[in-house]
Amino acid sequence: MSRQSPLFPPRFSELRGDASLAVYVDLKSPYAYIAIEPTRDMAKSLGVEIDWRPFTLDIPSYMGSATLAKDGKTVASARRTNHQWTGVRYAYKDARRYASLTGKTIRGTEKIWDSSLAGIAMLWAKRCGAFDRFIDLAYPPFWRRELDIEDPAVLERILTDADIDAHGFREWASGEGRALHDQINEAAFDAGVYGVPTYLVEEEMWFGREHLPRIAWILEGRNGTAPGVSNRAFKP
């Protein structure tokens, strides 16, 4: 495959910018959650820095919507086709079986969360050089359903627990931070990002951690045979 392949329009590398590897994630995606560790391991093994970026999924726009009743088990309201339900159920089951291998808990969600404030908190943490610490403290409790990520006070507490000064976060989140988040999301979506985790490397863009072998192959200089897709570990 040529490096100038028309498959990959220039807008992908323009979106990547100066980063060697840019990765889009969303707190409310179980697939993003289980991709964090292998992505970090892969990057660490190659000495590559990751430019993490928030991408807030607009799930109802493509997967319909649903809300659980107060009992947390039955569906109170839904605008989903049978095919969409089947896809959603499989996605959770699939994420769960991989998560369980590393001791992670993924509970079914109660609603489609608005994770934009959490995305803004990611940007705040990134500004403070503590993106990893923040998501390490936010992902596990969120997926145990112990975290209301729409509550700014909860996010302030997570930031503080991650040794990040949260003073001014709330004001920033309602102004400059929100604008930055929206700009990042719109630029990504306009370029073709539609899910998480999405990876930008050289001129290529990929969705899903199964492409990590190819991303590593590209970062290593495309030596040898190009690998296929696989969900695999990158432990040293």
Partner 1 sequence: MKLTVALDIRHPFAYLALGPTIELRRETGVEIDWLPVRTQPLRTPSVPAPDDDRGVRHKRHRAEMIAREIAVYADAQGLRIESPYRDGPTAALHSAWLWIRVHAPDVLETFLERAFARYWALDLDPHSLDEVVTLAGGCGLDEGAIRAWTAGKGKDADDRIAAELAEAGVFQTPAYLLGDEVFYGRQHLPMIRWLLEGRRGPAPI
How far apart, in whole angstroms, are the C-alpha atoms of residue 137 and residue 153?
15
Three-state secondary structure along the chain?
A: CCCCCCCCCHHHHHHHCCCCEEEEECCCCHHHHHHHHHHHHHHHHHCCCEEEEECCCCCHHHHCEEEECCCCCCEEEEECCHHHHHHHHHHHHHHHHHHHHHCCCCCCCCCCCCCHHHHHHHHHHHHCCCHHHHHHHHHHHHHCCCCCCCCHHHHHHHHHHCCCCCCCHHHHHHCHHHHHHHHHHHHHHHHCCCCCCEEEECCEEEECHHHHHHHHHHHCCCCCCCCCCCCCCCCC
Residue 61 or 223 having the CB closest to partner 1: 61
Q: Per-residue x/- mask for partner 1, residues 23 to 62, rule CB under 8 A?
A: -----------x--xx-------------------x--xx
CB of 62 to partner 1, least distance (A): 4
Per CB under 8 A, which of residues 168..207 are in contact with partner 1? 189, 192-195, 205-207
Is 78 a residue that touches partner 1 (CB under 8 A)?
Answer: no
Q: Are 132 and 139 in contact (CB under 8 A)?
A: no
Q: Which of 18, 73, 74, 83 binds partner 1 (CB under 8 A)?
A: 83
**Nearer to partner 1 by C-beta: 175 or 189?**
189
**Region binding partner 1 by CB under 8 A among candidate stretches 13-21, 90-98, 107-115, 129-137:** 90-98
- Is 48 within 8 Å of 200 (Cβ atoms)? no
- Touching partner 1, residues 99-128 (CB under 8 A): 101-102
Quote the CA–CA distance of 8 and 191 in Å, as a whole number.
11
Give the span between the Cα atoms of 131 and 55, in whole angstroms: 14
Q: Per CB under 8 A, which region of 86-94, 113-121, 154-162, 176-184 contacts partner 1? A: 86-94
CB of 151 to partner 1, least distance (A): 26
Among 1, 47, 70, 236, binds partner 1 (CB under 8 A): 1
Candidates 67, 77, 81, 86; binder of partner 1 (CB under 8 A) is: 86
* Of 135 and 191, CB closest to partner 1: 191
Candidates 51, 94, 110, 202; binder of partner 1 (CB under 8 A) is: 94
Residues that bind partner 1 (CB under 8 A): 1, 5, 7-8, 34, 37-38, 58, 61-62, 83, 86, 90, 94, 97-98, 101-102, 189, 192-195, 205-208, 210, 214, 225-233, 235
